C-alpha cells in the first residue's frame, strides 16, 4: 500500500505569552530578549512533539518566532519603515456591512506593515539561525527528520510591503530575490525542506492589485515566478514546497482568481510540492482543473482537505472522500494531504480554537490513512 503522506501549511497557534511579546517586538516596545528566546524554544519543542504524536509526516516549527508569514522580514532586513496603505479584499468591499462587522469584532489583525523606504540590506542573521537551531534540536530529540520551514516569497514581500525606494518594481523584486536567496539556501543547508509562501499569486489579485485587470495581474504572476526561480536557482527543487492562497479569512471570496488561471504559471516554478486551497466552499470544485492540466511527474499536489477558517472538525471520511476525488486526476504517488492554509497566519489571531486545530489535524491523519487503503 502506497501511503498518502500528510502535512499542513505551517503556522500553528502561539501561546498567549509568546503573542504578547511578539506584538511588543513588532511595535518596537521594550521586551525581554532572553525571555522571548526561552518561550520560543519551549513552544517549538511543544508543537513539534504534538505534530509527531498526531502522526503527521511533514511538520513545521509553527512559525513560532514570527509575527506573521511575510512581515517578519522587516526585523531581518534594513530598508523598511513607516506604514503601508491597507487595502481591504475586494469581496469585502462588495459587502460593507459584513466588512464592518469583521472590523468591530476584532477579526482584523493589527500589526506593523511598512514600506520599502531605503536600500535593502540584511541586518539580522541570528534570528533565522536560532529558528533553525530550535527546530532541529526538537526534531532530533523526537527522532523525526521530515520537516519544513516557511519563508516569504519575493513576490509576497513586494505585494504587501510596497516599494517606495527603488526606481521600479523589477528592481525591487530583483533586490528582494537577492536578499531572500540567502535565507532559502540556509534553510536547505540545514537539511530542512523549504516552503515558499506565495499569496501574491492569488490573494493579491483581489487585494493589493484589485485595480488591475486579469491579464495585467497574470503578467505580474509570471514576473513573480521568474524572480522566485532566480532566488531558488542553487536549490534542488525536490526540497521545495509552495503554498498558494486566496486569503485565510472567512468571507465571500467572490473575486478570487480561478485556479486554472494561475496554476499553469505556478507550475513553471522550480518547486516540487504545491499546497493549494481545496476544501473551502469557494475552491472545493477546482480538483477538476487537473482533468485538463497535466502535472509533471516530478511534482506533487497537496490539496487542502482541512478548512483553516472553520471550527467544524472534518470527519475522517470527508477527508478520505476529498483525497479519493483528487486521486481521479492526480496519481496517488503525486498526492499529499494538506490543509487550506495556516492556523495562525498572524500571531494572536485565528478563528479556530487551539484544541480544535489539533483535532482537525488528527482527522487529517486518520482520513489520509483511510484514503491510502481505499485508493
Please give the pLDDT value at position 106: 58
Strands 77-81 and 115-122: antiparallel
Q: What are phi and psi of 39, to 5 degrees?
A: -70, -45
Residue 108: its pLDDT value, please?
A: 58
- Provide the whole-model pTM: 0.97
DSSP 287: G
pLDDT by 10-residue block (mean), the chain, 375 residues: 96 96 93 97 98 98 96 96 89 92 68 94 97 98 98 97 97 98 98 98 95 97 98 98 95 96 98 97 97 97 97 98 98 98 90 96 98 98
Question: Could you tell me which residues come within 8 angstroms of residue 148 by beta carbon, excluding any fewer than 6 positions away?
Answer: 7, 10, 58, 59, 60, 192, 193, 194, 195, 241
CATH assignment of 16-374?
Answer: 3.20.20.210
DSSP code at position 237: G
Domain limits, the chain: 16-374
CB 280 within 8 A of CB 307: yes
Question: Alpha-carbon distance 207 to 294, whole Å?
Answer: 29
Q: CB-based contacts of 214: which residues, under 8 Å, 6+ apart?
A: 205, 257, 261
CB 257 within 8 A of CB 217: yes
* pLDDT in the model for residue 105: 67
pLDDT at 87: 85
> Which pLDDT score, from 0 to 100, does residue 109 have?
62
Please say whether the beta carbons of 302 and 279 come within 8 A.
no
DSSP 8-state symbol, 107:
-
> How many of the other CB atoms lie within 10 Å of CB of 252?
14
User: How many angstroms separate the Cα of 50 from the Cα of each of 19, 160, 203, 357?
Assistant: 19, 32, 30, 11
pLDDT (0 to 100) of residue 86 = 80
The span from the first CA to the last CA of the chain, in angstroms, equals 9
Amino acid at each position: 500500500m502506497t501511503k498518502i503522506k500528510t502535512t499542513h501549511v505551517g503556522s500553528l497557534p502561539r501561546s498567549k505569552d509568546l503573542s504578547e511579546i511578539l506584538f511588543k517586538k513588532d511595535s518596537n516596545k521594550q521586551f525581554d530578549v532572553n525571555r522571548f528566546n526561552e518561550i520560543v524554544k519551549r513552544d517549538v519543542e511543544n508543537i513539534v512533539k504534538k505534530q509527531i504524536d498526531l502522526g503527521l509526516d511533514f511538520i513545521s516549527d509553527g512559525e513560532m518566532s514570527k509575527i506573521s508569514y511575510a512581515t517578519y522580514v522587516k526585523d531581518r532586513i534594513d530598508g523598511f519603515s513607516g506604514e503601508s496603505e491597507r487595502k481591504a479584499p475586494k469581496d469585502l468591499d462588495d459587502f460593507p456591512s459584513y466588512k464592518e462587522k469583521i472590523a468591530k469584532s476584532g477579526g482584523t489583525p493589527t500589526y506593523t506593515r511598512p514600506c520599502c523606504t531605503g536600500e535593502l540590506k540584511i541586518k539580522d542573521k541570528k534570528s533565522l539561525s536560532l529558528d533553525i537551531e530550535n527546530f532541529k534540536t526538537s526534531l532530533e530529540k523526537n527522532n523525526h527528520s521530515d520537516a519544513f520551514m516557511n519563508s516569504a516569497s519575493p513576490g509576497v514581500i513586494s505585494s504587501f510591503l510596497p516599494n517606495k525606494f527603488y526606481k521600479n518594481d523589477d528592481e525591487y523584486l530583483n533586490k528582494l530575490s537577492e536578499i531572500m536567496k540567502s535565507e532559502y539556501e540556509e534553510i536547505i543547508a540545514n537539511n530542512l525542506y523549504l516552503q515558499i509562501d506565495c499569496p501574491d499569486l492569488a490573494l493579491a489579485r483581489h487585494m493589493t492589485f484589485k485595480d488591475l485587470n486579469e491579464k495585467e495581474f497574470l503578467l505580474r504572476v509570471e514576473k513573480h515566478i521568474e524572480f522566485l526561480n532566480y532566488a531558488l536557482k542553487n536549490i534542488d527543487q525536490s526540497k521545495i514546497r509552495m503554498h498558494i492562497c486566496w486569503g485565510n479569512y472567512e468571507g465571500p471570496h467572490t473575486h478570487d482568481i480561478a485556479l486554472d488561471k494561475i496554476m499553469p504559471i505556478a507550475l513553471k516554478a522550480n518547486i516540487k510540492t504545491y499546497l493549494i486551497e481545496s476544501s473551502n466552499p469557494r475552491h472545493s470544485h477546482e480538483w477538476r482543473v487537473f482533468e485538463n492540466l497535466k502535472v509533471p511527474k516530478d511534482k506533487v499536489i497537496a490539496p487542502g482537505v482541512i478548512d483553516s477558517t472553520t471550527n467544524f472538525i472534518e470527519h475522517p471520511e470527508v477527508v478520505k472522500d476529498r483525497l479519493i476525488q483528487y486521486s481521479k486526476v492526480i496519481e496517488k504517488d503525486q498526492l499529499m494531504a494538506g490543509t487550506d492554509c495556516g492556523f495562525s497566519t498572524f500571531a494572536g489571531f485565528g478563528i479556530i480554537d487551539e484544541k480544535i486545530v489539533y483535532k482537525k489535524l488528527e482527522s487529517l491523519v486518520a482520513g489520509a490513512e483511510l484514503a491510502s487503503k481505499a485508493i
